[in-house]
Structures are given as structure tokens and as C-alpha cells.
Amino acid sequence: MPSDIDAAVPLGCTVTLAQVLSRHGARDPTLGRTIAYAALVERIHSSATGFEGALAFIKDYRYTLGADHLTDFGRQEMVNSGVKYYTRYRQLASSVTPFIRSAGQDRVVESALNWTQGFHAARLRDKQAKPDTFPYEMVVIPEGSGINNTLSHNLCPAFESSDRGISAQRTFAAVFAPPITARLNKGLPGTNLSDADAISLMDLCPYETVADDKGTLSPFCGLFTEDEWHSYDYYQSLGKWYGFGDGHPLGPTQGVGFVNELVARLTQTPVEDRTTTNRTLDGSPATFPLDAQLYADFSHDNDMAGVFAALGLYEGTPPLSNTTKQDAAATGGYAAGWTVPFGARMYVEKLACDGNPKEAVRVLVNDRVIPLRRCGADSLGRCDLDRFVDSLAFARSGGHWDQCFV
């Protein structure tokens, strides 16, 4: 994403630790959504009395998407991500093997494995690199009810039962979707599509595009204008902001556990947390080393949204309007497509810089340097390590974890 601050490692600085937190690669819809999309297409076929204009292709369209699994595009996306990480941190990566963890869902584990393939392939091509042993070891933390996992939220009942994100989306859908729905119903007479149906047809554009082996845009993409796609992006942003991020009273708390693990890695001190951390794994050097220089964790978009909130990356963003679309400039760079797309990644860098006896920290989200407001970042986006850690008092005190069980 575009960065107001040069994303290159600052001149005179050396990266001494690099952490990536990554979303899995592009996938098919979830099982529930793919069943709903298939049913919608079938309903259109059975009820439409005409397929007019740009909608004519739907007459012969067949829904063939799977459920939950990575697409070939998503697999390659993660290979590319591993190459990118190696290239950026080559000074360390050419001689150090990253410590890798993954949430337990199949698509996340596969993404992590594909990432390691890209990293290792880049290392093999580097004639100056030291040989290593592949495949790399990886810690996989199961996902499920009652399992402590900082890469997968599920332990806060008050948060899990909330529908704030869905409610915000529903409000904005009533603003932007009706003209789209009316146009679709005019071109598909007899279908009586709802606003939710119209948004589902918009969903098929990205899902079909990333599922196409030839990289061809889905014909569903052309049914909507550029302005409507900006509204769709904002609709998704509302879901993340109010469902999992700063817009939810307990959103930032869901990221507290990972942030406390990050503090432990940056300071090489034991994890101090009583929220979502797996204390058995985090208490062992084999499953949570404190002396690694490269870390790679793999998770989901919703979990990353909570981590970003716990870190305060977008705390300068005003509450998003449920009725008026705002662009990324107005939201301080917060948008679903800018923060947690398929293959999204946050880099946290610890730096040793000439002329400064203190180590520094920088954070990048999808190549965009995030100004660290809480610790008073300098013009290059850096904060001294101790000030960065001090700025995370919310996470270090457990956030609002006590409210999870009220």
C-alpha cells in the first residue's frame, strides 16, 4: 500500500529482529458462504424471466467454487510473500532460520508452509547464504473452543456473541446497495433480489477472480461501477472496524495476547499475559524461543484486526461513519483492503541505528509505514524500544479481559 514514509529500512539502521504476522492466502468462500452463493445462483436461474444486458452471462453461469481451501493464486501469493520477506531481511535471513507458528486451520497451515517454500527458495538462490535444513519446524496451535491461541480468537464470550460489525454493515448497506439492487432486478426480472443478494453477487467478483488459474477477472466484476466498489470496500471496512477492531469495545482486547508475546520477543523476557496466550507453549524455549531474530506467525484477518487495535496502529482514526463513505485519507489509512486482504502482512522491525544507543521499533502493514502515535514516532516512523513497550500499557495490563465474562 502507499506509504507517506519511505518503507525502506532507514539509512544507517540495521534490522536486528523482524517479525511478520500474516493472514493466509486467497481462498474459496467459507462453507456457509459457498452454500449461500450456490443457492442464490440457483434461485436466480429458477426465477428470472430474462437475463438482460451485462447480466446475460448469468443465464449459463454455473457456480463451481469450493469451500475454505486456498486457491492456486493464494498458494503462490504466500510463496511470493516468503520471497519478499527473505529479500527485505536478507542480512539476517541468509544465515538465520525463522521461528514459525501457525493457527491450526488447514488453510493457515498450508499458507505457512507455502511461505516457507518461498523463503527457502530465495535462500537457495542466494549464493552468499549459509545452507539450512528444510522443511523448517513449525509450531501449530489448534483452533477451537476453549483452546488458548493468540492467533485465533475464541475465548471471550462477550465478544463472540456481539454483532456490532454486522449491524454497522447493515446500516451502510441500506445507504449504498438499493440502487444496485434495483438495477439488478431490472436486468433479472422476476428474481426480486434483496440488498443482501446484491452484495453477495459483488462477493463473487473477488472470489472467482482469485480462483481463476489464468488470472482472469470474473464477469461479475464488470456489473458494478468503480464508485460502487469503493462503497463495497467501505462496507467491508465497517465489518472489520466495528466487528473486530477499535470500533468494538472488546476488539482491541482480542489482540492483547499476541501483543504481549511480541513484547516478550522484542525484549527477550518471558511472556506476561493472562488472556489468550497458551502458557504451556509460551513457557518452553522449544515452542516459544526468546532469542530468535526472525519470527513468522500465520493467522486470520479478524485476528489481525484485533492485534492492530491492541497495538494502537489506527487509534488516530475517528469512528467510521455508518452512513457516509470515507476514503483511506479520511480514515488514516484504515480500510479492509489496506489492512487485512488475503496474504496481508504486518512487519515489526527492531532496529539498531547509527548515533542512537537505544534500539528502535518500526511497524509496516502491507508495506505502509504506520506512524506510532502512542510512543511519539519520529519522521521515519521509529520509536525507541522502551517507549514503544511503554506505549503498550493497555495490552500489558490485560486490556478489558475482565469484561469478557460479564
Q: Angle formed by the axes of helices 195-211 and 72-88, to 10°?
A: 70
Active-site residue flag, 120:
no
Alpha-carbon distances, residue 355 vs 11, 13, 386 (angstroms): 12, 10, 17
Among the residues of 274-342, which ranges form H helices? 279-282, 301-311, 336-339
Burial class (CB in 10 A: 0-12, 13-18, 19+), 140: middle
* Nine cell digits for residue 201: 453477487
3-state secondary structure of 183: helix
Q: How many Å apart are CA 282 and CA 265, to the nearest integer?
A: 11
Q: What is the SS3 string spanning 101-129?
A: EEECCHHHHHHHHHHHHHHHHHHHHCCCC
User: What is the distance of C-alpha 243 from the center of its chain?
Assistant: 14
Which backbone phi and psi does 267 adopt, to 5 degrees? -105, -5
Catalytic entry in 24, 153, 248, 400? 24
Among the residues of 322-372, which ranges form H helices? 336-339
Q: How many Å apart are CA 363 and CA 343, to the nearest integer?
A: 17
Question: Which of 308, 274, 282, 364 has the alpha carbon at shortest distance from 101?
Answer: 282
Q: How far apart are the first and last CA of the chain?
A: 39
List strand residue ranges (DSSP E) for 269-395, in order: 294-299, 345-353, 360-365, 368-369, 383-384
- What angle (nearest 5°) sits at the alpha carbon of residue 274, between those of residues 268 and 275? 105
Q: How many Å apart are CA 200 and CA 33, to the nearest integer?
A: 9
Q: Which residues are catalytic?
A: 24
